[in-house]
Structure 1
Amino acid sequence: MTRLAYSALSSYSRVQIMRLVQDHPGRTITDLCDETGLHANTVREHVQRLIEGGYLVAETERRTTRGRPRVLYSAATGEAAASSPIARRKAEEAARRGDLMRRVLPWTADAELPSDALHQIDALVEDLGDAGFDPIIDEGALTVDLSPCPHASADGSHRDVLCAVHQGLMEGVLTQAGGPLRIAQITTSCDPSTCVVMLRR
């Protein structure tokens, strides 16, 4: 199986672009060039990688005046207007693999969680694995331990942006997968390598 997901975020420039579209949906290539200082061709390449990873969606502007409509880019949040078919397919495939694992290893399933919540966890685990995390899930406590964070050594001025982008992406994965789970909070400590995501129903 080829995993593309978070290789889309292997560049800090793509992380910046994700943060911009998470904060203000409906950005154009020109907007993103102005905000990042990158050349239009570079931004287009980054945007294409993010679309292929299922993290951005493109929509053609509806114009009421003459002129070529612009393409507007937004984060794939899983909501109706910003749902990515790529992200939806990835969530469905993760659910199928999770169901197979629970049939083969029935003791791994938490009887307390409904199947749609388990499918959300399946999608989240696969997505985080693609990001380079090694998540430890406690289905009873509804926690996802991401320690040690592979981004702990990132430039301190970048860490807040990285964390915010990853939180937005995790929220999008949960929404896209469908089900009752959402992120309640992310607990960190003085040690930047420590990160635990608290989920809520």
Structure 2
Amino acid sequence: MRSASGVARGRAAVLDALRRQPDPVGIDALAHATARHPNTVREQVNWLVAHGEVIRIRQPRDGRGRPAWLYQARGPRPADGEYVELAAALAWQLQDSEADTRAEAMAAGRRWAADLVDRKGVTPDPSPAAARRWTVELMDELGYGPTTEGPDDLDVVLHRCPLLQAAHRFPDVVCAVHLGMVQAVLESNGGGPVEPQLTPFSAPGECRLRLGA
């Protein structure tokens, strides 16, 4: 039997995950993000709904059957939510595109990067190492919860995904948007031509990003 404190911590973790999302999120995506069983997450979300911390919204119908419930924390969106929400909208739109979805998603990510760089500026001392640091700093500001590994900060573990629902539904599209963004940000800060690699949901609650060879 779970202790009262354990249940409370579980609810807090689910609520924290929802507060970091600009858009409503489904149970399965929340379970991935919090490394919990979907049934446990459903219990915790239902409690949060009953106590006014979370609202639930019907997912737009996109096929047969009853649309699933999506959940959203009450209160303001996270900082930079407008940029993340734009990326999520692009991912959903590109999923239905008849064009080369990956190429279009990469291009969309590069356009997103140009907007971010224009807003934030670039590092004053461009170099591959500075570009990696700047990229990790940016992803932290956007809510990805990055931590670096290795002596050269080439490997980054992303502990949160602000595009959680879209990433769960369309991982290839969302990852391509992210890769295009990261690639352009690195290049803008002296990283040179690079081919970043992203492994979605490499472990419960995290994705793994490699910033270079």
TM-score, structure 1 normalization:
0.47
